[in-house]
Amino acid sequence: MTAQRETRNTRDGYAAALLELGEKDERIVVLDADLAKSTQTEKFKQRFPERFVDCGVAEQNLMATAAGLAATGKIVFASTFAIFATGRAYDQVRNTIAYSNLDVKICASHGGITVGEDGSSHQALEDITLMRAIPRMKVVVPADYYETREAVKAVAYIDGPAYVRIGRPKVPVLFDEDYRFEFGRARVMRGGRDVTMVACGYMLHQALDAADELAREGIEAEVLNLHTVKPLDREGILSSVSRTGRVVTCEEHTVVGGVGGAVAELLVEEMPVPMRMIGIRDSFGTSGSAEELVEHFGLDARHIAGVVRGFLA
């Protein structure tokens, strides 16, 4: 692990994007459910109070209200924690937002196990599965400050509903000011011929660290940044896998129907190859620090490297 590198909050990237969008487009409206200080929509609220609505502790109402706003031609960003956005309000998201194909961009923070100390009730581990299953819903899981900022700006102008999963902890900065986000296109972070590692969000830097460790042993892993989980970049994944012949997916999420599931669905039909899925193995989360939990659930670079090593042996 690199000792000193810059880390930043992905939520700050979200807030920066909202300010930029709000400045140049009057249709941008932001809704929150009493978590504006956590999701960072507070900054938009201060700049554009007339275009911000706090729905209170009522996530279902947040989503249905967002749908109505979008029906009047607004581009609506709806924010709360990932667990409430996708679980608590699932029916509103499915039946009122997505079925109506409305421009509601659900940008949820606190996705995954790295929520930490609050424990299982606040750790969204099934959100990608839930959102991915809804027709018309796009799913984006950005990895750092810049990717979050650019992804949010991109989904604002992609027709219909989208889900952007944002995390709680500060994460290493992987991109820079000039980063260009390409919606729907997996990005090759490093080339390699021995195995394809697919990762997104918080797991991307862990996968890259694992690849570094493996490289020192002569294992060349190709690392794909699958920031757009849906629509899936079929060509990008197949092109990499056709060269490496093996896949390891890494997600801060249940392995049931998530990122690994999406990749497996593609490969099992188009290019069956040996595969391993790293993620939460069908269990609830628990309290602990983010770092402890990442290690506890085997999501850290060392563990990932171990899985890849065993897989290729």
CB 86 within 8 A of CB 47: no
Question: Cβ 78 to other proteins, closest distance in Å?
Answer: 10
Q: Pick the piece of the chain touching other proteins (CB under 8 A) from 50-58, 121-129, 205-213, 270-278.
A: 50-58
CA distances for 64 relative to 44, 60, 67, 160, angstroms: 21, 6, 5, 15
The encoded tokens of residue 162 equal 């989208």
Residue 71 or 158: which CB sits closer to other proteins?
A: 71
Q: Does 55 bind other proteins (CB under 8 A)?
A: yes
Nearest distance from C-beta of residue 21 to other proteins, angstroms: 15
Verify binding: residue 60, other proteins, rule CB under 8 A. Answer: yes
Q: Name the minimum Å distance from CB 91 to other proteins.
A: 5
Q: In Å, how far are 68, 76, 138, 193 from 73, measured between CA atoms?
A: 9, 9, 19, 48
Does position 101 interact with other proteins (CB under 8 A)? The reply is yes
Q: Is 59 a catalytic residue?
A: yes
Query: Which residue(s) pair with 7 in the sheet?
Result: 172
Q: Minimum CB separation from other proteins for residue 200, in Å?
A: 30
Q: Which member of 59, 213, 251, 252 is catalytic?
A: 59
Question: Of the two residues 50 and 176, which places its CB atom closer to other proteins in the complex?
Answer: 50
Stretch that binds other proteins, among 53-61, 175-183, 227-235, 302-310 (CB under 8 A): 53-61
Residue 120 in contact with other proteins, rule: CB under 8 A: no
From 4-12, 60-68, 234-242, 288-296, give the range in contact with other proteins by CB under 8 A.
60-68
Fill in the per-residue mask, 67 to 96: x = in contact with other proteins (CB under 8 A), - = not in contact. xxxxxxxx-x--------------xx--xx
Burial label for 60, CB within 10 Å (0-12, 13-18, 19+), is: middle
- Tell me which of 5, 6, 37, 56 binds other proteins, using CB under 8 A: 56
The catalytic site residues sit at 59
- Rule CB under 8 A: which residues touch other proteins? 29, 50-51, 53, 55-56, 58, 60-61, 64-74, 76, 91-92, 95-96, 99-102
